[in-house]
Structure 1
Amino acid sequence: MRNNPAAFGSGAIIGTLGGLIGLGGAEFRLPLLISLFGFRGLEAVVLNKATSLIVVASALPFRARAVPFAEIFAHWPIMLNLLAGSLVGAYAGASWATRLKSGTLYKIIAVLLLLIAGVLLLAHNAAVTAPALTGASLTVAGVAAGFAIGIVASLLGVAGGEFLIPTLILLFGADVKLAGSLSLAVSLPTMLVGFARYSRDQSFSVLRTNWPFMLAMAIGSIVGTFIGGLLLGIVPNSILLPGLVAILVISAVKVWRHE
């Protein structure tokens, strides 16, 4: 199964699923790398991280027409607030992942997939409200949330948008479109820090030996994300979200049982 057409096709399907709800699909890609393509835990995380970096880097300019860069960077205090925690969390998460036994990492990945399933089901359609916190309390909450998101993003090799977008809406009162772009702007440096930490581990060699596979999956994911964006709104969330949650739950069970 480790061939370029399979990588492109699976990336396109995953990207479409993610694009339908405004995500890159890395949450669905990781279980596939482990269960279908047979990569070991940390190797799958590193491959997922590299693929996610390419997808996120391409998604930000795609969204520039809807949310201009000037509008994104006008909210630099929010980005800095979250980055103050997420950069540290990303480095810590990557450091922990490199020290964990494969069996333990599989269990952690399975639990985090279930957590993402819960967030998608309960908080994906969060309504914009006035921030409940202000001043120093809001800053502390933003740093704490960023730290937790950075850890999860590093352990799974994902961008973290499934957590960042609800945080930006509920904690900072950002509207959905702006939250999506701010999420990407925060994710990119956060992922780079985690990626830099992984580059010091021997599992990073999986990129050198599988770079055509990774590139094919990344291109497929970008194409799929674009298609998913075009199809956005055609499939109602009342049907789509429970289906995606079911996929994540099944994936979590398979990863938990993975040897």
Structure 2
Amino acid sequence: MYRNLPFLIVLIGFFPSCNHASVNVDKRNAANQIKPQRQVNPKGGGQEKPRLVWGYRFVINGDFDGDGRQEKLTEHYFNGLTNKETNKFYNGDYDYDIKMANGKRSYSFIVCDNELIRRIDVVPVGNFGLLYLKNEGDLNGDGGDEISYVTNKADWSSFNEYKIMTYKNRKWVVLYWFPIWEWQLPELPRVGNQTVALGSNQVIALNSDTTDKKLLKELKVFNGLVKKAGKNKIQIIYRSKDISQDTIIVGLKNHHPPV
């Protein structure tokens, strides 16, 4: 009757230890999520020169200074060595993209068609331009539209910040910010429907393929992570302290949620 008792004791002790290990692995994986590679490795064992991938540029409209007239904000991505518009990526692996972004000292900024409105320099400098840009409407009741943007950082982490900017006293300031996962945002097209000017005699027309058109459509219908919830209050979808996605209502005067 008791012949199998030692075996049962060992078996009972085995299952709790397995469950405990799986929980630790899950938490570790959640806390260290990394960005997927954006491009495929070039053929020929690195012998073929990587093809230039232009990358998407955001353009939004709104009344940002509160004067009752519409302005346009346009994203730009420059080669720091030539100070000219350049491609964001290459048809190589992600490590190569990071290497080239730093090698070219690339930088990005958002410029307004109203020259009286200062440009926004996208930070941190080690980036691939913008991951997201949106006109959020008038969130604080000052008569001007606020914007939100997320930097496409040149790193392997999925941790990022969603910044809400307002134009006040002739300069852009951070009205509110909150932490996010990058996977909360839609994937960007590689080019979009654009015509790119690379100098007085160089103009490149970029036509979207089927995948780009699908991603562009998804981007246009995406509502963002912010919604107005009352006077100086917004609803945000953010990365909470327990490393999950959560939705809460916050006051703009707090500047950021508990982090």
In terms of fraction of residues, the more strand-rich structure is: 2
In terms of fraction of residues, the more helix-rich structure is: 1
Query: Between Structure 1 and Structure 2, whose CA radius of gyration is higher?
Result: 2
Determine if the TM-score, normalized by the shorter chain, exceeds 0.5. no
TM-score, normalised by the number of residues in structure 2:
0.31
